[in-house]
Amino acid sequence: DTGVSQNPRHKITKRGQNVTFRCDPISEHNRLYWYRQTLGQGPEFLTYFQNEAQLEKSRLLSDRFSAERPKGSFSTLEIQRTEQGDSAMYLCASSEGTGAEQYFGPGTRLTVT
Amino acid sequence: AQTVTQSQPEMSVQEAETVTLSCTYDTSESDYYLFWYKQPPSRQMILVIRQEAYKQQNATENRFSVNFQKAAKSFSLKISDSQLGDAAMYFCAYSKWTGNQFYFGTGTSLTVIP
């Protein structure tokens, strides 16, 4: 297993377009997290899945954001009608249990022009 | 609401010396987890050390150790015998006992001077 992977690594889009990111966690990890990180800040929690169930969703996650983990394996994060304020690094992490180490992916850097 | 505060945006240390990074947090929970993560430039975030709040003993991992003061809600990281490879952004993080949410501080950028 090569760790958590994210695709694409970079995405440039025009304001108003929809974008979708993919995260492939470590295969035996049942927990998956999405974060957003802007320059000079720490990661901000967006949402959490245990297997296919989305158990937590931050109030930061507006209605334009949706995440899925259909079979409890990979996950997608979609942003509809992107805004310039959505420009950030989107990080995915997975872990195998409560309090366990989170393994982070390399992130997807989104630029909205 | 849980918050994590790192009051030192930047720190520097001479190679082979010791440095301590500060972190405070706010919570009304009695059981939780605390972490220090390292993010090297343009590289992925990796775990440095973790602490369960119910454990009084401070966690250690080789050159890395923490000073966990539960009553003061303080969780500092000590790096001994600093090496050039320790240069990175360090983030303190808090997790609820359920592990459903994580909260990160704003980070401390550590420079190691040869």
Tens-digit pLDDT profile for residues B62-98: 999 999 999 999 999 999 999 999 999 999 999 988 8
Q: What is the mean pLDDT of residues A61-85?
A: 93
Write down the pLDDT at residue B35. Answer: 95
Q: What single-letter DSSP state applies at residue B84?
A: G
Is there a contact between B106 and A42 if contact means CB atoms under 8 Å apart? yes
Chain A contact for B45, CB < 8 A? yes
Q: Do A42 and B91 touch (CB under 8 A)?
A: yes
d(CA A113, CA A19): 13
- What pLDDT, on the 0 to 100 scale, is given for residue A1? 54
Collect all residues of chain B within an 8 Å Cβ-Cβ radius of residue A42: 4, 91, 93, 104-107
B23 φ/ψ angles, rounded to the nearest 5 degrees: -155, 130
Q: Is the peptide bond before B40 cis (omega within 30 degrees of 0)?
A: no
* B54 in reach of chain A (CB within 8 A): no
CB B69 within 8 A of CB B56: no
What local confidence, expressed as pLDDT, does residue B101 receive? 82
Give the pLDDT band (50/70/90) at residue B1.
Answer: low
Is B7 touching A (CB cutoff 8 A)? no
B62 at interface of A, judged by CB pairs closer than 8 A: no
More reliable by pLDDT, B5 or B102:
B5
Assess whether pLDDT exceeds 90 at residue B38: yes
